[in-house]
Structure 1
Amino acid sequence: MLLQRVLTAVLLVAVLLPALLADHVLPFAVLTLVMLAAAGWEWARLNGWGGGRALLLGGAVAVTCGAGWWAGWADAAPMWLWWSAVLAWVLGGGVALRGGPAAWPHLPQGMRLALGWLILCVAWLALAAAKQRGVGFVLSALCVVWAADIAAYFGGRQFGRRKLAPSISPGKSWEGVWSGMVGVGLLAAAWLAAEASWPMLGPSVFSRLLATVGPLGLAAAVVLLCGLSVMGDLLESLAKRAVGAKDSSRLLPGHGGVLDRVDALLPVLPAVMALASG
């Protein structure tokens, strides 16, 4: 299992890194669209659409995102789109998590499928828009989630006492959430210091937020982004637990499925665009 995880991770980096560093957004946009369309297929399977019908949702994600690209939304989407996504995650995600795995299957299937389709489409548009702003911007947005996840894991193992959502993800604790926020705060400080000395990658999410909302606003944004990353992780865990699935699929050997790797990014990406576009 460890060898599979390592080999898959190396392959993903080998494919994603050149696209991320490319001057033009198109290679990165196409590659990530393929990944999120695959995540759409996984979401459909988790919510009762098997076989060929699951492919329909993945195709719908790809077609909708392509239409958004054609309309110019991957470059300059309206601000209401990002803020509506943030509001929907905060309110709708809170309601879904409160209901827990037992309530999830009782929601109309069409609503659950449409929810996944919308989440994935908006996240991809935000990802493409972030890449348009430069490598430093999109990379720092991705690192917010990675740093929060790593810090939460080690903080939870070391200090975890109070369970966050035991019916959804028994391993998560409030101490892990707070550790994740500290980890992202440290990342922001280190990134800003490095950016001042080595500006080769261009402006980051952190420098943009610092310039627009100041130090206190940046701190508040870190708290919001970390909270949203946890919500994205928990929502996917809820959908899996409702059907007794351990992973969203086996597309990524040793890692599970695409959703297992991008779930925390889905609410964070539109929030980054909302906060940094002010």
Structure 2
Amino acid sequence: MQTDPTKDIGSVFGRSWTLLSSNWIIIVPAIIIGIIAGLIAALVTPTYYMDTSGVYPVPVYHSMLGLSLVVGTMIATFVGMLANVVILTMTTGMAAAAWKTGKAMISDGMDALRRPNVLSAMLMLIVVSLVLSLLTLVTLGLAGLISLVVFFFLIYTIAAAVVGGFSGMDALKESFEVAKTSWLTTLIVVVLLGVVAFLATLLAAAFHFVPFIGPIIAAAISGVIVAFFSLVLVGEYNDLRGRAHPAVAAQPPFTAPPAVPPL
């Protein structure tokens, strides 16, 4: 039973910011991948213009435009989902290294992407995201509440894969179990992260009006938020998984066996 759900949240948030302050490189994946995904989305999404050449009859022209918009939007949506999952995975890998050693490198994020169990967890998240997107489209947005609930219970999925070593569906189950067992702590974390994201979004939007450097600053702010979120989620997962699995928490820390002397 959780008697004080806020006991360690403040320390996790504070430590996460300290780690980010000394490891700004964690924001790099979000900036680079975000720019690439944005360029791809811009390329596949058609720009509307009026056909005055008379080559296409109006009904045919609008049918072609509608089809291209639908296909382009679907591709852009999928690219966005894939980019978000890749960004989250890389930053989580770097965040895990920062929590463990105090130092994060790009190679830590790349190592996370190369692990089969992490790739399977990423695939499951993409599938869930696609299903939720289709449900939202079919129900005209009414599935938004379902998406929030799913997000709540699957918030630790990538951390479970990167830190806990879980694969695919097991990573989703692990996240669900941790969030369910420590639901109040998780709720507080989600609300706090939501407030941070909202304030950061307002700040980033203000910089969009600054010529040339505005979008760059906005992208950097987004990168900071993603990196901070990853650090917080890794820190919280490390704390909360012991509540979901007391036997795991009771185990002594792993120590390497002594080296065998040469013969």
Normalising by structure 2, we get a TM-score of 0.33
Which structure's residues are more often helix, by fraction?
1
